[in-house]
Amino acid sequence: MQVFQKIPISILSTLKHLILELIYNMIAYSLALAALASTVTVTCVSSTNTNTNTNTNAKLSKVIQRQLDTGARVYVESDTGRQMIFHGVNTVVKGYPWVPLTTEFDIDISLNENDHINLSNLGVNIYRLGSMWPGIEPNEGEYNATYIDSLRIITREASNYGIYTILDMHQDVLSEKYCGEGIPAWAAITDDITFPSPLDETYTDKSNIDGFPTRQDCSKYNWPKYYNTYNAGLAFQNLYTNVNNVRDAWGKMWIHLATELGSVEDSILAYELINEPWSGDNMNNPKLFIPSVADKTYLQPTYDSLANDIRTIDNTTLIMFAAVTWDDVVPCGFEHPPGGDEYASQSVFAYHYYNKPQFLPKIYFHQRNADAERLQVGQILTEFERSNVDEDMTDDLYVEVANYADKYLLSWTNWEYKTFCKENEESINSDSQAAAYGSCKTGYGSHNWLYNDNGSIISDTAKKLARTYTQYTAGNIINMIFDPITSDYEFIYEHNVDIKEPTIIYANKQYNYPNGVLIDIIPNILDYTNTNGSENHYEFVMNTNRMKKFNFKNGEKIKIKMTAK
């Protein structure tokens, strides 16, 4: 420290900003690579997929968690005790009207019955639905019933096709004030006249439509760089520390959403408190770049406050919580789940994998699993890179990450199902950050990832999404391995004879088993058939006669192998 005392303050200040800029550039640039996609304008079409062999349920059961000997928890169907695994997608609209289109099918922006049929056929049984604070509460204290009705319509229709919902309060750079989105402008508390200092000189131009910085100014930098501004960092910190009672308002918003949706809809799996939380005012407090410091200093008390608010209304629905996004190989800084250890059974540690800022998936997933076990909570991978649109299974990060998810028996939601934004000539030529639908500004999905322009499904993408996996298990899962090249699947579990409902495996005929499937059960004590007429779902039930023949005991292991003919 004595050496630094001899250096002039001005030089120290310059060095400080250079170091911060270097650190942040590494983070921001890698986030941008993971999230940015191209902008394409298309017209509405009808989906040409006519396959309706879908595993439908009139009513989904509430999902709870069961603790394992390791300390971690797994998802369990409350009515039956069956363990559950979820595979799904993100469905987040990052600008007005803040919710997908429900009135007709569109390859970029819809989420309606056609979408639910297609998603269910591809093995999706969950999605992470953007539940956007500006849509819920555009003006302080005034809740938008129409918007919440739209969320209700989507979640109820999804449940008819066996799809659960995560209500995700999504954000990227927090607000349009900072060239991002996430919370209403009234909740973003800073002096905005200097934005985006120190990244650039002040953006003095404001949109004539909404008064935010113009899209022309915002486009000067890849969007994650705007985290590296005094205003954005301070706004996060003010939100966390309840300046002007804004954290209280955040909690009230969650109370309202829990009252209207989560506490009355069993298909709501969880509330995700905030997407990719930033660390706070790290421009003035560089220690916040240390992940555990940021988690402990601001996120822990914030999550405790929000969880306590939600639990006044809903003591059952799971709460998902995330650490800062650059905690690659180190433990997260949380000392307990949101609300305290007594809520561990209702808490889920949510995290993302992008390369970069994450690096080696082997180390990353081992550490995140250790975090969940230490906190004795569940876990879920709520974002990772979507697949390449090709048939190559060997050089695709999506495939690699999905394989690791199987290894750790992780549920996941892939980023992102559609673009969920659409430009037209008028919006492109305007000065507003808004698109004609949503906002094509921060990270969004890819046009023609799953659908061609005529609405038909792109088979290469569909095959990668339609991985074989066990959705419901009459017992405890031990191991699950799927080979996306050969479609071979091996599943081992401990069978609970007290669970009478079937084990259900999703195995897509069109993309993985077009010539049929060979099923081998060891010991051979299960009968199997297709579920509810669906050619993509197999249900396995105990044959009591063969159970006695093999002298099978409760809790013993069963192996199911599926091989393409």
Active site residues: 276
Element (H, E) at 194: none
Question: In sequence order, what DSSP letters do the residues of 457-526 get, joined into one string?
Answer: B-HHHHHHH---EEEEESEEEEEEEE-TTT--EEEEEEE-TT--SPEEEE--HHHH-TT-EEEEEESS-E
Q: What angle do CA 253, 254, 259 make, to 5 degrees?
A: 100
Give me the sheet containing 503-506, strands edge to edge: 63-67, 73-77, 83-84, 469-473, 503-506, 534-542, 526-531
* Separation of alpha carbons 98 and 136, rounded Å: 9
Which tokens is 454 given? 């005529």
Q: Indicate if the alpha-carbon torsion angle 390, 393, 31, 273 is positive or negative.
A: positive
Q: How many helices (H) and strands (E) does the chain have?
A: 16, 19
List CB contacts of 14: < 8 A, sequence separation 6 or more. none
Helix (H, G, I), strand (E, B) or coil at 561: strand
Assign 213 to helix, strand or coil.
Answer: strand
SS3 call for 82: coil
B/e letters for 42-66, b = 16+ CB within 10 Å, e = fewer, are beebebebeeebbbbeeebbbbbbe
DSSP class of residue 318?
E
Contact between 369 and 376 (Cβ < 8 Å): no
Please tell me the distance from the alpha carbon of residue 94 to that of residue 77, in angstroms, as a whole number.
32
Quick one: how far is CA 89 from the chain centroid? 7
CB 119 within 8 A of CB 465: no
Whole-number Å distance between alpha carbons of 424 and 515: 44
Query: Residue 7 and residue 77: Cα distance in Å, rounded?
Result: 63
Q: Are 534 and 55 in contact (CB under 8 A)?
A: yes
Task: Report whether the peptide linkage leading into residue 356 is cis, meaning its omega lies within 30 degrees of zero.
Answer: yes
What DSSP designation does 164 have? E
Give the Cβ contact number of residue 442 at 10 Å.
27
- Phi and psi, residue 234, nearest 5°: -70, -35
Name the residue with tokens 């061609």.
452
User: Rounded to whole angstroms, what are the CA distances from 433 to 177, 426, 442, 541?
Assistant: 10, 12, 10, 54
Of the candidates 86, 99, 109, the residue with the CA atom closest to the CA atom of residue 164: 86
Give the length of the chain.
Answer: 565
Helix, strand, coil share of the chain (percent; to 5): 35, 20, 45
Q: What is the C-alpha radius of gyration for the chain, rounded to an integer number of angstroms?
A: 24
